[in-house]
């Protein structure tokens, strides 16, 4: 059974049910029930026309739910009990679903979950496993999200920036359970590239591809985090890098620079260096300046300070940290790194230890603890 094909059909089937009279929440519930049945039965008895099968089963599930509700309330059905004659029109509803599921009124966690279900075609159980939460918790999150967007019109363009942020959140979750969220985010972003003419969408795809190319080298023996400078670049996926660079170049040629294109340009410069010593830090600083102009983000200022430290020396990098608040995540780690490069090993060791205590992941905490121990070892006579 081709599960990817099954997932790709979900947005279209939801759209067909919507045009037959179903509201979004009811259509999405019906398609999910059909999806679960497909996962159970297609392996042994695949249909000749998967799309038609999903439409037929989803419509029956929807009608069953409407009849049950009508019976409970003791009133007549408010929708037709038979689908319109003839085949459903082949209209792509995926873009509308992207906008609806990533609506600005939804909390980020809810938008991510709803996008993965309605656009990505994942089941609630798969999403719950990926985010390491109970299935009932994820089901409640999705139900609240659907109630919140009930009745919202779909005849106006949505907020593309919100859609891109949601997809990038999915990508950054990486892998959990039996669903590779990074790969799923890339798949969905490819769909969005095909549906829009915005260079920033291509910029996000390029950024994902360039980061994903380094995935195999990020974790070393024993599950240790490997910093970019220490990664085995022979394990980087050159095919993904080439595709990412090609996508980025086409986007930049449109001369409508956005933050994802700028981030992708920085990632491309890292990918272009055969080793850490060959990294073009001067160009990277220039791209961070562009990124700051676009976003004025404290996180960008922090990352720029590292690049400045590499391009112009650690003292200049430490001076660049004056514009960054010390309460920002990773501030202590960046400061410690620059202090070590500047030769202030005692303060660097203290900084790494402080950063380890504030780390939000076990991998990062263990890495910073080892860095603190390494620098303390250098301090010994």
What is the 3-class SS of 151-204, one letter each residue?
A: CCCCCCCCCHHHHHHHHHHHHHHCEECCEEHHHHHHHHHHHHHHHCCCHHHHHH
Q: Final residue of a domain: which of 25, 43, 73?
A: 73
Tell whether 97 and 28 lie within a shared domain: no
Is position 228 within any domain? Answer: no
Considering the domain architecture, whether residues 106 and 14 belong to the same structural domain is answered as: no
pLDDT at 84 over 60: no
Per-residue model confidence (pLDDT) at position 157: 57
Any idea what DSSP says for residue 75?
-
Q: In terms of domains, do 98 and 64 share one?
A: no
User: Of the candidates 132, 165, 196, which is a domain's last residue?
Assistant: 196
Q: Is the model's pLDDT at 65 over the cut of 90?
A: no
Indicate the pTM of the whole model. Answer: 0.80
Query: What is the total count of domains within the chain?
Result: 3
> Among all chains, which residue has been given the structure tokens 């939804």?
106
DSSP 131: T
Distance CA 148, CA 104 (A): 11
**Residue range 235-252: mean pLDDT, rounded:** 97
Task: Using CB atoms within 10 Å of the CB of residue 83, give its burial: 0 to 12 exposed, 13 to 18 middle, 19+ buried.
Answer: middle
Same domain, 104 and 59: no
55 and 103 share a domain? Answer: no
For residue 101, being part of any structural domain is answered with: yes
Going by C-alpha positions, the residue among 213, 210, 264, 268 that lies closest to residue 235 is 213
Average pLDDT over residues 113-125: 88
pLDDT at 233 over 60: yes
| Higher local confidence (pLDDT), 169 or 371 | 371
The pLDDT of residue 131 is above 70: yes
Q: Which of 140, 162, 196 is the last residue of a domain?
A: 196
In a domain, 285, yes or no: no
* Residues 105 and 175 both lie in one domain: yes
- 288 within some domain: no
Per residue in 271-300, pLDDT tens? 999 999 999 999 999 999 999 999 999 999
Task: Specify whether 30 is located in the same domain as 108.
Answer: no
Domain shared by 66 and 98, yes or no: no
For residues 97 and 186, membership in a common domain is answered with yes
The answer to whether residue 230 is domain-embedded is no
Confidence band (pLDDT; 50, 70, 90) for 369? very high
Q: Are residues 171 and 101 in the same domain?
A: yes
Above 50 in pLDDT, residue 181?
A: yes
Q: Check residue 74 and give its pLDDT.
A: 45
Please state the rounded mean pLDDT for residues 150-157: 63
- The answer as to whether 137 is a domain residue is yes
Q: Do 21 and 110 fall within a single domain?
A: no
Between 78 and 58, the more confident residue is 58
Q: Examine the pLDDT at 205 and tell me if it is beyond 70.
A: yes
Query: Regarding predicted confidence, which is higher, 233 or 173?
Result: 233
Q: Where are the beta strands (DSSP E) in the chain?
A: 175-176, 179-180
Average pLDDT over residues 133-144: 92
The range of the structural domain enclosing residue 16 comes to 3-73
68 and 152 fall within a common domain: no
| Window from 13-27, 188-202, 289-303, 342-356 with minimum mean pLDDT | 13-27
Count of CA atoms in the C-beta half-sphere (13 A) of 50: 20
Q: Please check whether residue 188 lies inside any domain of the structure.
A: yes
């Amino acid at each position: 059974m081709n599960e990817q094909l099954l997932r790709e059909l979900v947005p279209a089937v939801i759209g067909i049910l919507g045009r037959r009279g179903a509201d979004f929440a009811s259509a999405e519930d019906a398609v999910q029930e059909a999806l679960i049945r497909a996962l159970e039965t297609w392996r042994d008895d695949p249909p000749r026309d998967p799309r038609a099968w999903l439409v037929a089963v989803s419509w029956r599930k929807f009608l069953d739910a409407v009849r049950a509700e009508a019976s409970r309330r003791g009133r007549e059905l408010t929708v037709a009990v038979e689908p319109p004659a003839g085949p459903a029109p082949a209209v792509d509803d995926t873009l509308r679903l992207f906008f609806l599921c990533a609506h600005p009124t939804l909390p980020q966690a809810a938008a991510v979950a709803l996008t993965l279900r309605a656009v990505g075609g994942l089941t609630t159980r798969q999403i719950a496993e990926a985010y390491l939460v109970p299935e009932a918790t994820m089901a409640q999150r999705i139900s609240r999200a659907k109630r919140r967007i009930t009745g919202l019109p779909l005849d106006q363009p949505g907020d593309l920036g919100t859609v891109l942020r949601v997809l990038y959140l999915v990508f950054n979750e990486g892998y959990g359970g039996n669903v590779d969220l990074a790969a799923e985010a890339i798949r969905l972003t490819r769909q969005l590239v095909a549906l829009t003419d915005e260079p920033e969408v291509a910029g996000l795809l390029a950024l994902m591809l360039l980061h994903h190319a380094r995935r195999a080298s990020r974790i070393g023996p024993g599950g240790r985090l490997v910093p970019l400078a220490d990664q085995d670049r022979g394990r980087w996926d050159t095919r993904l890098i080439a595709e990412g660079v090609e996508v980025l170049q086409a986007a930049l040629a449109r001369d409508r620079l956005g933050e994802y294109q700028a981030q992708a340009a920085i990632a491309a410069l890292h990918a272009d260096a055969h080793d850490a010593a060959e990294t073009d830090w001067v160009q990277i600083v220039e791209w961070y300046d562009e990124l700051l102009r676009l976003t004025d983000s404290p996180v960008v200022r922090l990352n720029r300070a590292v690049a400045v430290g590499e391009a112009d020396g650690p003292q200049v990098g430490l001076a660049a940290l004056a514009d960054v608040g010390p309460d920002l995540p990773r501030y202590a780690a960046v400061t410690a790194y620059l202090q070590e490069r500047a030769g202030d090993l005692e303060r660097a060791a203290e900084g790494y230890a402080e950063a380890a205590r504030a780390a939000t992941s076990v991998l990062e905490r263990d890495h910073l603890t080892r860095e603190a121990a390494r620098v303390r070892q250098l301090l010994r006579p």
